[in-house]
Amino acid sequence: MCSSDLTRNFLYRNQGNGSFERVIDAGALTEDLFHFLTCSWVDYDNDGWLDVFMTVPRSSSETPTSVKNRLYHNQGDGKFALVTQGTVATDAGEAAGAAWGDYDNDGFPDFFVCFSAFSEQTNALYHNNGNANNWIKIRCVGTVSNRSALGTKVRVKATIGGVERWQMREIFGTEGWLSFNSLDAIIGLGDATVVDVLRIEWPSGIVQEFEKVPVRQTLTIVERTELTIAAGSDGDFQLTVKGPRQQRYRLDAFSNMNGWAPWTSVTITNTDGTASSNYTPTDGTAVKFFRAVPE
């Protein structure tokens, strides 16, 4: 949490049970004494640990060109170190907003800083020169959920530095005051050579999971149609399709190795994005498969 007064920032660790614990020993991040406007979290070096950039406004005794923003590098041990080298750390200016995004699609997040109306400087775009660390970039496209995939959680499991770790990025519409990052989820993987598990949790409740995904690539994941089957008490089965509103689906059946055959069609009209149809077995087949095909 950024403080707009001349005081230290507050960092709170999520305990995973609905409560937070204040962290008082996070290195320079919780020790520095400044006015701060906003913070923007990103793993800029793709080592698998989220770093943070903070904008610093000037005081009444300072000029716009005497102010420097703050970039803190996550050391991976719960502490953050102030970055003092490189143009992002050394350029002066009274910044208001900041945004991270990979504009040249090399897998490393670049950086745009918007200076305030009281500053005479032009806005600044910084190219990330990258390093040898691996990464994966996920672009989510919602169909049942909103198309921008806001609220989607992207989870990745990989072995980094010999340790198996989960990481999570949530796609959301704002990062901080006057700040809006790219909607692509860039996840740093350090020395990991493969993503063991990639899990997409959509706001609709649909979950997609992939295993053994190669690193250093950009993946576009489109929210899939979900078909579920529930057994009734009278021997019937209810098939439920979850998909985009007003989308029509043909439900095909497969049995006895005779190939797929159309069975019925449904249209998504419910507010929860579902449509259902009951199936009553009549041919004595022990096993039957179904699929939903957009029409």
Distance (Å, rounded) from C-alpha 35 to C-alpha 81?
A: 18
**CA gap 175, 284 in Å, rounded:** 57
Number of neighbours of residue 52 by Cβ within 10 angstroms: 21
pLDDT digit string, tens, across residues 111-168? 998 887 666 678 889 999 999 999 999 999 998 899 999 999 999 999 999 999 999 9
Residue 89: its H or E element: helix 87-90
Here the tokens at position 165 are 């770790």
Are 66 and 92 in contact by the 8 Å Cβ rule? The answer is yes
Sign of CA pseudo-dihedral 116, 118, 119, 122: positive
Residue 123's identity, in one-letter code, is N
User: Is the domain defined by 133-224 classed in CATH 3.30.70?
Assistant: no
Map out the domains of the chain as residue ranges: 1-131, 133-224, 226-294
Whole-number CA gyration radius for the chain: 25
Q: Report the alpha-carbon distance of residue 188 to residue 267 in Å, rounded.
A: 41
Q: Which residue has the tokens 């999570």?
A: 168
Residue 228 identity (one-letter amino acid): T
pTM for this entry: 0.85
pLDDT in tens, 35-73: 677 788 999 999 999 999 988 766 555 665 667 888 999
